[in-house]
């Protein structure tokens, strides 16, 4: 029997939440088969198996947060005998291992490091020696008696049933039943499944139950008369907790200075339109953000101090650009970055931006993709906002906010004409970036948006 402990999948992460098991007790697994999906403070991660064999026990329930180093799964050479637990939604809640003793794996409220406890008594006596295979289910007492058997004679399973029921009844309250998609939707919407009235045939929470509960309890743009007055409590953990800590640390450690500039991006919009119809960019997603990203890289090369880091003892000027793109995801804000973005052509940068966005939206951004950023762009225009004062990503000294691009009246050669206008905002760490450098940098970004042909220099 081998136990797999929760590893540190990032740099210094101390805990993670078990989101969903991909295996159950009795499954045969090979090395590198995906065992479980976990959520760290930074992303969703799939953990592969380091062992080959048969899953003997799931030691941590879905939804439970455990420390790095905690045993989460046991893998051995033989299959266990499964007894279903009617209140939990993972199959192997009760297991008879090779020792022949029934044990209870950990539930969501149990200590992740506590040992499984044998039931003993009549159940143990009814199991003659080691058992291998699927074994009888807990509802075996309801099955039709074998031909020739005395119906008045209690079977071993029937004798054991009261003790099993008593032991199960002593378990801590289990999580509500729900299919994985419903559980994921509840997490994304910040709803507690335990509060949702269940109408499923087996007592499970259905998606309709969840939607109805959300509509009743979530504050929306409906008239005040539709409000219920209830308070929905969402635990602060995972990505949300990490984001909050990072933003507070940045806001109160780096003295921010913010500046803004309105830009005529009409030629950028024309350039994007041409790229979309270009054969070279066929199948590649192109948007104004691509030009902004290229402009930030170009401007950072002309103003190196915005692409740096502060360490109290020294300023680190980076000779490369790991371009961060702030991405809003169902699990919160993440800032993955494109490594060595200064080396990429315009097309390669477009592909990298598209891949980064798809991975972030799917919640699959890996911790390594969020490490070592040098400067960040936040596309607040995607939210319909004109401008804002962004907070610098920790470890960096500059961030650019790209506002929405829309037609506005603009003066050209003394005439008021409609033009595509956007607003660029920037926040900088004043310990590293002086006001004039910040102004020159943002002016250079604006110059590219006004005339993308400058990128050809």
Catalytic residues: 430
d(CA 377, CA 326) in angstroms, rounded, equals 6
Instruction: Tell me whether strands 375-378 and 323-329 are parallel, antiparallel or unpaired.
Output: parallel
Report the candidate in 72, 115, 75 with the shortest Cα–Cα distance to residue 98.
75
- For residue 34, what are its two tokens? 């995906």
Q: Please, which residues bridge with residue 263 across strands?
A: 422
How many CB atoms are located within 10 Å of the residue 308 CB? 19
What's the rounded Cα separation, in Å, for the pair 81 and 408? 70
State the sign of the Cα–Cα–Cα–Cα dihedral 342, 348, 350, 352: negative
Per the structure block, which two tokens stand in for 295? 């402009």
* Count of beta carbons in the 10 Å neighbourhood of residue 307: 27
Cα–Cα distance measured from residue 66 to residue 14, given in angstroms and rounded to the nearest whole number: 9
**Which tokens sit at 174?**
């289990």
Dihedral pair phi/psi, residue 366, rounded to 5°: -85, 155
DSSP β-bridge partners for residue 118: 103
Q: 327 in helix, strand or coil? A: strand
Give the contacts of 187 (CB within 8 A, at least 6 positions apart).
19, 331
Query: Encoding tokens for residue 43?
Result: 């992303």
**Collapsing DSSP states into helix, strand and coil, what is residue 407?**
strand
Crossing angle (nearest 10°) for helices 435-450 and 266-277: 50
Separation between Cα atoms, residue 405 and residue 291, nearest integer Å: 13
Q: Which residues, including other chains, have CB under 8 Å from residue 418's CB and lie 6 or more apart? A: 407, 408, 409, 410
Query: Which DSSP state fits 433?
Result: -
Indicate the DSSP class of residue 233: -
Give the DSSP per-residue string, 341-362.
GGG--HHHHHHHHHHHHHHHHT
Give the Cα separation of 178 and 188 in Å (integer). 14
How far apart CA 437 and CA 379 sit, in angstroms, is: 22
């Amino acid at each position: 029997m081998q136990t797999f402990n929760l590893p540190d999948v990032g740099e210094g992460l101390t805990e993670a939440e078990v989101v969903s098991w991909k295996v159950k007790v009795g499954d045969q697994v090979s090395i590198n088969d995906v065992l479980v999906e976990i959520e760290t403070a930074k992303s969703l991660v799939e953990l592969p198996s380091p062992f080959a064999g048969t899953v003997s026990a799931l030691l941590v329930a879905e939804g439970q947060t455990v420390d790095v180093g905690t045993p989460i799964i046991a893998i051995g050479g033989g299959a266990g005998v499964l007894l279903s637990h009617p209140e939990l939604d993972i199959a192997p809640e009760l297991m008879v291992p090779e020792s022949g003793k029934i044990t209870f794996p950990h539930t969501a409220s149990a200590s992740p490091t506590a040992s499984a406890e044998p039931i003993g008594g009549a159940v143990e006596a009814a199991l003659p020696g080691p058992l291998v295979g699927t074994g009888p289910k807990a509802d075996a007492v309801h099955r039709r008696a074998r031909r020739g058997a005395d119906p008045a004679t209690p079977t071993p399973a029937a004798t054991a049933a009261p003790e099993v029921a008593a032991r199960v009844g002593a378990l801590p309250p289990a999580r509500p039943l729900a299919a994985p998609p419903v559980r994921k939707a509840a997490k994304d919407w910040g709803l507690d499944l335990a509060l949702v009235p269940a109408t499923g045939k087996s007592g499970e929470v259905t998606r309709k139950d969840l939607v109805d509960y959300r509509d009743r309890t979530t504050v929306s743009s409906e008239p005040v008369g539709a409000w219920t007055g209830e308070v929905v409590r969402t635990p602060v953990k995972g990505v949300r907790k990490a984001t909050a800590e990072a933003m507070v640390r940045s806001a109160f450690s780096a003295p921010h200075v913010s500046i803004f500039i309105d830009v005529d991006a009409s030629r950028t919009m024309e350039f994007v339109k041409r790229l979309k119809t270009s054969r070279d960019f066929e199948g590649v997603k192109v948007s104004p953000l691509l030009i902004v990203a290229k402009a930030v890289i170009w401007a950072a090369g002309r103003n190196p101090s915005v692409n740096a880091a502060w360490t109290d003892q020294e300023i680190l000027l980076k000779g490369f650009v790991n371009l961060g793109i702030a991405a809003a995801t169902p699990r919160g804000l993440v800032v993955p970055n494109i490594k060595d973005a200064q080396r990429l052509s315009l097309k390669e940068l477009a592909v990298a931006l598209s891949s980064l966005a798809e991975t972030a939206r799917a919640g699959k951004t890996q911790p390594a993709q969020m490490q070592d950023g040098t400067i960040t762009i936040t596309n607040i225009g995607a939210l319909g906002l004109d401008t804002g004062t962004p907070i610098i990503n920790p470890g960096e000294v500059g961030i650019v906010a790209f506002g929405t691009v829309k037609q506005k009246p603009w003066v050209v050669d003394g005439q008021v004409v409609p033009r595509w206008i956007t607003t660029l905002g920037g926040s900088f760490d004043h310990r590293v970036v002086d006001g004039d450098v910040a102004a020159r940098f943002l002016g250079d970004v604006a110059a590219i948006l006004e005339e993308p042909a400058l990128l050809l220099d």
